[in-house]
Structure formats: C-alpha cells, structure tokens
Amino acid sequence: MRGRIFRAISFVLIVMLQISIFGAIDIAIASEANSSVSSPTANTLSAQSATSTSSADSSSKTVLAATRAMPESLEAPEAAGNQGILYLDGKNGSDDNDGLSQEKPVKTFAKAKEIATANQNIQTIYVLGTVDIEGDISLSGTKAKLVRGEKFKDALLNVVSGKTATLKDIIVDGNRENIIATSALVTAQSASTLNIQDGALLQNNKNYKDDENSTRGGGLYAYEASVVMDGGIIQNNQATNGGGVYLNKASKMIMSGGKIIENYAKRAVYNQDVINAAGGGLCVDTGSTLELGGSSEIASNTSEEVGGGISVGSREWGPTNTLVMNGGVVSGNTAFASGGGIFVQAKLFFGDASKAKINAGKIINNSCTGKGITEFAFGGGGIYVNGTPSQVKFGDTIYHGANGILELKNALVTDNLAAISGAGYAACPISKTTIYVTNGVALYSNKLTNNLIASGKEIYILSSNRMGLHSKIDGTPYNISERMLGGTLYNWKDSHGQLVTPEKLKGELKGDGSELALYTDEQLDATGKKLATVIISGNTSATRGGGIGSNGTVIFGEDKPLKEVKILKEWDESLTPRAIEVELRGKLSDGTDWLIEKVKLNKENNFSYTVKNLPATVREQKIEDLLYIKELGSEVFKVEYSKGEDKGIFTLKVKNNPGTPPPNTPPNTPPGTPPPSTPPEEPPYEPPYNPPYEPPYVQRIPKTGDVDYSLLVTLGLLLSASGCVLGYHTRRLAS
C-alpha cells in the first residue's frame, strides 16, 4: 500500500515538472518572438505618413509630409458621394448639405471639421470655393486634409478683413499636379492677422498665368495684413514674386519659427523690358516688413532672377521695404541672377530704396548661378544689394535714384567662393562701402576659383564706365577698417602681395578700370569666432561677390569712438633688458578668447608701444575690462602683469623679475584669473560607484524576451533525480 502511494506521488511530481519545463520554454520563445517583431500597424502608418503628400512633395527631404496620424485603413478613399471624400465650398455651399458630393458641398470650415471628426474615414476635403476663416483653424482630431478641388483656381482659405485666424495642425494642399491656380493657397486681407503655428502645412500650389504675366504669392498672399509665424511649414509652392510668401502694401510678417522651403519664383518677361522673378521663399514688397529670428528657416528656395531665399523689394520699383534679421537661418537657396540668399532693391523713378539690418543669424550655402537675364556681374551668393545713380536722365526727364542699404553687425564672412573676384565682398562703381571696427566684420579665408590674389579674395571694389546704369567714374567711395571684429589686425595685402598702409584704406576710386583688391592671411582664433553673431559662409557666386555682392550701400559695424592702449615693459634692476614679444589679447567671461595684436618691445621703442584704433566696446563691454597681455618666450623670468592709467591712456604693464616662475604659475593673467596665491578649487569628492550587493539567492527579474537557461537546467536535474528515486523504490518493492 505504502509503495503504491509513493509511486502515485512521484508520478504527479514528474508531470508537474514536465508542465513547468515546457511552459517556461513556450513563454521564453513567445517573449523572444514578440521583442523581435515590430507592430505592423505602426510600420504601415509610418510608411503612409512618409508618402502622404503628393508626388510633387517627394523632393522635399526635410519636409514633414503629415503632421497628424494618418487613417488606419490602407485603402484608397471611396468615390465621390461616399464617406472617403468631403466637399467644401465657402461661396456656394450650405451647411444643410451633407457634403458628400460636389453638388451638395458644405459652406463653412467648422461644419466640414464636424463631419470629418465624426467620420474618421474622411481623408480628403476638396475645396470648391474660397472659405472665409477666423478663429482657430485646425483639423486636429480628424484624418483629413484640405485639397484644391477640380477646376477651382482661387484661394482655399481667406482671413477676413479685420479678423484673426490661427492655422495649426492642418494640411492645405494646392493639388499642383492636376490644377494650375491663379491665387495663393491662403490670403490675408486688410487689417487682418494670420498666425501660423506647429502642424500647419501650406504646400503644393502653383500660381501661374503665363510666361508674360506675373503672379504674387504661391503659399501665402498678405495685403495690408499681419502674419505671425512661429511654427509650421510653407513648401513646394510657385509664383512669379514670392514663391512661398508675398507681402504686399505695408504688410508685416514676424517669423520666429517654422520653415519656408523648396518654393520657386518663376520668371515672367513682358516685352523684354519688364522682367520679374523675385523671392523664391519670400518677397517683401510695396512698403512691407519682415522680421526674422528665433529658429526660423528659409531654405532650398529658388528664384529665376533675384532673391533666391528672400527678396526685399521686387524687380519693380516701389516704397521702402525692410528686413530685420535677429536670428534664423537662410541656407541652400539659389538665384539665377543675384542675391542667392537675400536681395535688397534700390530706388529709381519713384518710391524709395529698401533696407536690410542683419544683427544675428546664419546666411550659409546659398548660390547665384549667373543664368538670369537681369544684371548678375556682382552676383552675391549670400547677399546682393542693388543700387542706382543719384540722377538718371531718360529723354528730357531726370529721375532720382538711391542705393539699397545693408547694415551688418558682428559678422563673420569666411569660406565663400567666387569665380572672378571678391569672394568675400565685391562692389561695383556706384557702391558705397564702409567697414567700422566696433561691432564690425571679420573677412578672411574666402576663395576664388582662379586663385589669383590680384582679384581680391576678401574685398574687391571697381570703378568703371562700362556697367550701364551702374557706371560711375567720378568716385567710388570706400572706408575700410584696418582691424577686424574684436580688434584683430587684418594686415591687409594688395594685388601684388604687399602690405597696405592704413591711409590707403580710405578714399575714392576714380577713372575707368580703377580697382581695389585686398586679402589677408590673418584670421580669428578658434574661440574668437564666437564674437560673431552673423555668419556668412559657404556661399558661391558664378561671377563676383561670393559672400556679398553690392551695387548699393553696405555698412559693417558702427561708427563709435575708438580706444588706445599703451603697453609698457619694465625690467628688474638685476636683469639686462632685451627685446621681447607680447600678445595683446581679449577674453570674455564665456571663454571667448582672441588675439588682437602681437607687439615687439625693445630698446628702440623704449620698451613701450601704443595700440591704436581699438573698439571701445566688445559685446557692449568696455575693452579695458577684456584686455590682457601675454609675454612670449619668458620662461626664465618671473613675470608680473598689471593695469592702470598713464596720462589718460589705459596702460598694460609687464615686469620681469629674476628667477624662474613658480610651478603651476601661468605665464599670463587673463581677466577673471585668480591671483597665484589662491589655490585652485578642488572638485567635490565623489566616491567610486559600487553597485549594491546582491546575495546569491536573490535572482534578477528577467527582461522581456530573456531565456533563463539556468532554470531549465535546474528543472531538468530535479526531473532526473525524481526519476531515479522512483526507479529505486520500484525495484525495492519488486524485490
């Protein structure tokens, strides 16, 4: 009896162990499979999102093709009259209609959204008539987008005069593959305000009449309106002026975020006399203003004439237009004639010249190709400023012209490329060029395709009477600082490789063919580059002016009083004086450190030297608070540094004493350096990391997909042991 009970217990134990083993194996295999296979629904949605914009959007590599989740169903929308499509007509529709056919469209955006929210199968809302909007305009909560309907060519959305509308989480598509429009996608009327925020996408609109008639605004047209853009994207649109955005009649746009990318300004030629194409990304026209800053981006736009990224003014004369740039990026844009990144128009006949004030931001990797019809001799890969003579006579009438104006502060112009001359900056006969040292510019390391120093790698200015309307031989004025941004000496060299004296950096070029060509071998220290808040780099011109080309007026920096600094060398009485060299340097509290000038001190100059024409301030800080000196080759002396005043002139003193400098004593004392007697602060003690002790019997919880083979082995051993015990008792009972 006892043997039968024992055999039964053993049998049950074996079965339970087998169930545990096979269960553990199944769980491990399932977990491993789940961890290695992604969700097909997620992959499907991702793929659909990447291709949701139309075939014309396929070139937009950086574009958010859809800003909301796409429908879960992969099937195409059903035919008109069914639930895949909804129709909206702001002129002839009615909200009493169901919107499921072209014959019965709804009238208001609110009604269309209501239906699309209730019916998640609706993916496309075809617009058959312009819809007036105000308030929040969003398709959040739906899976639909607005698309230009068949045969409809006017604006899809219009901000009513005096009203405010906000576009967010909405796709507005011009359906350019099937329809050529005669209007922008969105219009904003007089005294209205349009806000463009995250998730708004204005795309795929072709505003075109014919090759002789101009159109204005591919994505957005504003008339006496305000536009505030801090998010969203305007992409892949076309017009003659303002492929992406056209600002008309004293409109104002503030752009602190978002992108205007891959738009196109197509040329229109009327009787070969009027040639238009301006502002691939934006055209700021007829007295309008653009303020650019923050994280805004104007990129990869094209104009068949001027202003690949931004055109401040168009090819037609008009009132003053203004660009103020305090941040943002203008990159990768192309103009066929001039102003690959930015074009600034002049004045003639009527109106006034346009202006650009650039205080911060990047203008990089733009180009002008020289393929335009209009003037491109001084192309301006990054920026071009147009100009006209003060008086122009046509027939018996005298017209007054004026140069466009570009003002730059704290600029770095480097690594730009030109084919002919002036890779950094090139200016034609009617130009006016002024470079101040205070908040000025660092021009260096620009390159010419022909690599001729006679062509002025950094600066080229020409006087000529063979430039048509831009000719001038009675004086082309220039005033060029001998110091770059922060006060570093340029050590300018001329077309023969000879150093240029300061007095030759100011004057006028006169006569046909007179030119000034300058280059430098100097450059800012690596950290000194941080002085610049404006970066103009990587731009190219098929002619002149890789970074900046000008027929107009260009002013770098500010005309402010300059500073002198005196450097004195003192020797201990026990030492024999000898010639030494010191560096005059500047240093900001953020670690920006740059060389200003190397100075030789010897008996001939009585161990004294005055550094002149320094900026009085750098980054709004007094230069005296930033300067320090560093003696070179003085390892055998103990060096002392001090500051003071000498007859009203700020003075830096260096004194050598006998003996070697103590260990760990730096050879210089830049601003903010503690005295040598102050021991450096030690970092707080951090004990080495030791992971907490885990007793051997505490087992780690396995992660999803882990197979704990040690458990399987243990269970197998237990199963074998149970089998042995059962066999032993069976044989014993049998015996």
Residue 111 belongs to what H/E stretch?
A: helix 109-118
The range of the structural domain enclosing residue 4 comes to 1-36
**pLDDT for the residue 729:** 46
Rounded Cα gap, residues 611 and 669, in angstroms? 19
Interval 89-131: pLDDT, tens = 999 999 999 999 999 999 999 999 999 999 999 999 999 999 9
The span from the CA of 98 to the CA of 80, in Å, is: 12
- Tell me the three state secondary structure of residue 575: coil
CB 732 within 8 Å of CB 13: no
**Backbone torsions φ then ψ of 21, nearest 5 degrees:** -65, -50
CB atoms within 10 A of CB 507: 14
- Count of CB atoms situated within 10 Å of the CB of 119: 15
Amino acid at residue number 491: N
45's CB contacts (< 8 A; 6+ apart) are 69, 70, 72
Domain edge (last residue) among 623, 657, 691: 657
Whether residue 423 is contained in a domain is answered as: no
- pLDDT tens for 199-212 read 999 999 999 999 99
Q: 129 in a domain, yes or no?
A: no
Q: Decide: 241 and 279 in contact? Cβ < 8 Å.
A: yes
Euclidean distance between CA atoms 545 and 212, whole angstroms: 30
**How many domains does the chain fold into?**
2
Helix (H) or strand (E) holding 719: helix 709-734
H/E run at residue 562? strand 562-571
For residue 503, the one-letter residue type is E
CB atoms within 10 A of CB 33: 10
Tell me which residue has tokens 């959007």.
Answer: 57
Q: Helix, strand, coil shares of the chain as percentages rounded to 5?
A: 15, 40, 50
Range 670-701 burial, b when 16+ CB lie within 10 A, else e: bbeeeeeeeeeeeeeeeeeeeeeeeeeeeeee
Q: Is residue 593 included in any domain, yes or no?
A: yes
> What angle is formed at CA 175 by the lines to CA 172 and CA 179, rounded to 5 degrees?
135
The CA-atom distances, in angstroms, between 341 and each of 216, 239, 333, 414, 568 are: 19, 18, 6, 15, 48
Which segments in the chain show pLDDT lower than 70?
1-83, 467-473, 634-636, 659-735
Distance CA 206, CA 148 (A): 11
What one-letter code names the amino acid at 554?
V
* H/E segment holding residue 131: strand 131-133
Query: 256, 282 in Cβ contact below 8 A?
Result: no
Query: CATH code at 599?
Result: 2.60.40.1140
326 neighbors 360 (Cβ within 8 angstroms):
yes
Task: Read off the amino acid at residue 369.
Answer: T
Whether 411 is covered by a domain: the verdict is no
In a domain, 19, yes or no: yes
Question: Which of 657, 676, 693 is the last residue in one of the domains?
Answer: 657
Per the CB < 8 A criterion, the answer to whether 342 and 355 are in contact is no
| Closest by CA position to 536, among listed 413, 446, 420, 680 | 413
Q: Return d(Cα 171, Cα 187) in angstroms, integer.
A: 15
Buried residues in 471-493 as b, exposed as e (16+ CB within 10 A): ebbeebebebbbbbbbbbbbebb
Decide if 608 is inside a domain: yes
The dihedral of CA 259, 263, 269, 272: what is its sign?
Answer: positive
Q: Both ends of the chain: CA-CA distance in Å?
A: 15
Q: Determine, yes or no, domain membership for 23.
A: yes
Quote the CA–CA distance of 186 and 698 in Å, as a whole number: 66
Q: Which residues, 6+ apart, have CB-to-CB distance to 418 below 8 Å? A: 379, 381, 426, 446, 447, 448, 449, 540, 541, 543, 544, 545, 546
Residue at 653 is within a domain? yes
Are 339 and 376 within 8 A, CB to CB? no
SS3 290: strand
Select from 612, 635, 657 the last residue of a domain. 657
Longest dimension (CA), the chain: 139
Alpha helices (runs of H) in 175-222, residue ranges in sequence order:
none
